[in-house]
């Protein structure tokens, strides 16, 4: 790669230490809401062309100025010329089963819906302390300087309540981004255009450079690139 890799923090590499810290923290402050049905995202890392129409649709829906980005398409590339590869990882808020942001909120502005597990921030209660921003391992909460509050993806709750899909999904011209009940998405039993039938074995909960899903149990699955998998040794293309 072009730039020198950043040395990794040895403490953060030790899963046992992290788990222990999570357990200690959760016990003290928070019992997560268990929704009737947890909704989540599916994204095809390979077939996504990185056009970022989802990002723009999201900004349109949420009236965001340049700066805060509820949805983020990340470009990943590797290999050495001419044997190179590239893929995209597309993430907004993962509406985690155990959201790290929620217990950090001093005003109780962050809540998880019982119905579908959507995590949202009540902007009338948010004081803009930005603790949730620091807590989220995926970078979902976005500070909006003009309003001095933190806001984030709420999966377009109004669209969900009206029986439709969120703006990002509707804007995806490649049909590589979708939502659905996360348990069915994980089992590959939910019908979605984001995944071709023969791609079931590429379905993963985590890809490279993404925080460990054990931290918060995020409601997202990916169709991973062969070089983006964390569960297999990296094979050069």
Partner 1 sequence: MRMAKQNGCKFVLVDPQYTDSASAYDAWWIPIRPNTDAAMMAGMAHYIFTSNLQDQNFINKFVQGMDAGTMPDWAKDKENFKDYILGKYDNTPKSPEWAAEICGVSADDIKKLAQLYATTKPAALKASWAPGRNAYGEQYNRMAAALQSMTGNIGILGGCAEGIGKAWHAEGVAYPYDEFANVFYESIKSDRWAHCVLNYPNVKREEIGLWPGGKAGDGVIPNIRGIFWQGSDWFNQLTNINKEIQAINKLDLVVCNDSTITPSGLYADVLFPIATHFERHDVALPWYKGHYYIHRPKVIEPLGESKTDLQIYTELAYRLGGDQFGKRYNPKANRDYFLYNDAVDNAYLQEWWEHKVMAHQHVDMSWAEFQKYGIYKFKLDRPHVAFQDNVEKGVPWPTASGKIEIFSGQLAQYDDWTKTAYGYEIPAIPKWIEPFEYLGDKEKTAKHPFHLISPHPRHRTHSIFNNIGWLRETYEQEVTINAADAKKLGIKTGDTVEVFNDRGKVVVPAYVTERCMPGVLVIYEGAWLDLDENGIDRSGNPDMLTLDEPSPAGSFAYNTVLASIQKTDLAHKPGWDRLATARSHVFRRDL
Give contact residues for partner 1 (rule: CB under 8 A): 1-6, 46-52, 55-56, 59-60, 65-67, 69, 72-82, 84-88, 174-176, 196, 198, 208-209, 227
Cα separations (Å) of 178 from 40, 42, 51, 64, 190? 9, 5, 16, 22, 11
Nearer to partner 1, 125 or 230 (CB): 230
Nearest approach in angstroms of CB 184 to partner 1 is 21
Nearer to partner 1, 28 or 81 (CB): 81
Neighbours of 120 (CB within 10 A): 18
Nearest to 126 by CA among 100, 155, 150: 150
Two tokens at 167?
């703006």
Nearest approach in angstroms of CB 199 to partner 1 is 9
Contact assessment for residue 158 and residue 175, using Cβ atoms and an 8 Å cutoff: no
Nearest approach in angstroms of CB 52 to partner 1 is 5
Nearest approach in angstroms of CB 26 to partner 1 is 29
Please, is 117 exposed, middle or buried when counting C-beta atoms within 10 Å of its C-beta (0-12, 13-18, 19+)? buried
Nearer to partner 1, 102 or 204 (CB): 204
Q: Which DSSP symbol is given to 103?
A: G
What's the CA angle centered on 107, arms 106 and 110, to 5 degrees? 95
Nearer to partner 1, 24 or 198 (CB): 198
Nearer to partner 1, 76 or 129 (CB): 76
Nearest approach in angstroms of CB 76 to partner 1 is 5
Nearer to partner 1, 148 or 209 (CB): 209
Q: CA–CA separation, 201 vs 72, rounded Å? A: 25
The DSSP bridge pattern shows strands 72-80 and 177-181 to be: unpaired
Q: CA–CA separation, 98 vs 215, rounded Å? A: 8
């Amino acid at each position: 790669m072009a730039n020198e890799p950043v040395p990794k923090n040895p403490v953060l590499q030790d899963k046992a230490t992290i788990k222990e810290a999570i357990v200690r923290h959760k016990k003290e402050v928070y019992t997560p809401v268990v929704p009737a049905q947890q909704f989540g995202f599916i994204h095809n890392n390979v077939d996504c062309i990185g056009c970022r129409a989802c990002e723009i649709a999201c900004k349109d829906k949420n009236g965001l100025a340049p700066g805060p980005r509820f949805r983020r398409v990340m470009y990943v590339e590797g290999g050495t010329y001419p044997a190179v590869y590239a893929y995209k990882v597309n993430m907004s808020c993962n509406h985690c089963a155990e959201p790290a942001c929620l217990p950090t909120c001093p005003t109780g502005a962050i809540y998880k819906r019982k119905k579908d597990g959507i995590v949202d921030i009540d902007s009338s209660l948010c004081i803009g302390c930005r603790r949730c921003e620091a807590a989220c391992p995926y970078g979902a909460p976005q500070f909006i300087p003009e309003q001095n509050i933190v806001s984030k993806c709420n999966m377009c709750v109004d669209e969900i309540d009206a029986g439709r899909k969120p703006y990002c999904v509707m804007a995806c011209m490649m049909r590589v981004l979708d939502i659905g009940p996360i348990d069915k998405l994980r089992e590959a039993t939910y019908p979605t255009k984001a995944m071709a039938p023969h791609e079931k074995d590429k379905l993963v909960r985590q890809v490279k450079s993404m925080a460990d899903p054990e931290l918060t149990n995020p409601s997202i699955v990916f169709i991973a690139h062969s070089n983006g998998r964390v569960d297999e040794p990296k094979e050069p293309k």
